[in-house]
Amino acid sequence: MKKLSFLPLLALLVFVLSACTPTQKDDTVATGDDSNTVKNEVSEPSEPSQPTNTADTAGVELASCLDSCKIIKEDTGLISKATCHVGCYMNEATAKKDPSICTANVSDALMLPACLTAVAEEMKDITVCDKIGADMNDLMRGSCYTTVVEKTKDATPCEAIKNSMMYSGCVEGAAQQ
């Protein structure tokens, strides 16, 4: 039986998050003629000089991520400033294992459950899924349960899922090796 998942949404957010790590270096390339100098922007990943505690650096990374969202124009197809901001807050929330960062900063009806699901998965804590309230889609809460159950291998939370297809996917997720 096919399992419903928010993986495509989370994949989009991962893509957005990758756009929110500004480490650009400017290289000037001469084309032989002094009037035709071309400026290339090359993106290079930054390498930490020493291991860092993600929770300690998360606040700095959040500010940097939010700042990098400024380069996105509002008319840029699927990736907007708002989506970029959500990605930044999701990063912060998972790094600090704090779902209140999601609830305080993400109001979009689809993005808030995705943010809470990412935190629940990181924490392996099914109670975070319960923050996806009755005003939100039961399928989103069921998807969150399934995501956590796949990590914990405890199918007990699946009993709370009312949708039969989501329930089956949750139980199957617990049984996966």
Tokens of 127: 């109670």
Q: Is 22 helix (H, G, I), strand (E, B) or coil?
A: coil
Band the pLDDT of 22: cuts 50, 70, 90. Answer: very low
Exposed (0-12), middle (13-18) or buried (19+): which is 83, by Cβ within 10 Å?
A: buried
pLDDT of residue 75: 62
Q: Contact at 8 Å (CB) between 85 and 67?
A: no
pLDDT of residue 136: 62
Could you count the other beta carbons within 10 Å of the beta carbon of residue 88? 24
**Cα angle at 84 between 45 and 123, to 5 degrees?**
80
CA distance 23 to 143: 34
pLDDT of residue 23: 38
CA distance 53 to 38: 39
CA distance 122 to 68: 24
Q: Contact at 8 Å (CB) between 99 and 73?
A: no
Could you count the other beta carbons within 10 Å of the beta carbon of residue 12? 17
pLDDT of residue 143: 92
Tokens of 170: 């949750």
Sequence-distant (6+) residues with CB within 8 A of 46 are 21, 23
What would the pLDDT profile of 118-139 be if each residue is shown by its tens digit? 999 999 999 999 999 766 678 8
What would the pLDDT profile of 155-174 be if each residue is shown by its tens digit? 999 998 888 998 999 999 99
Q: Contact at 8 Å (CB) between 149 and 173?
A: yes
Residue predicted with more confidence, 64 or 11? 64
pTM of the model: 0.66
- Top mean-pLDDT range of 21-30, 61-70, 135-144: 61-70
What are the two backbone dihedrals, phi and then psi, of residue 21, each rounded to the nearest 5 degrees? Answer: -125, 85
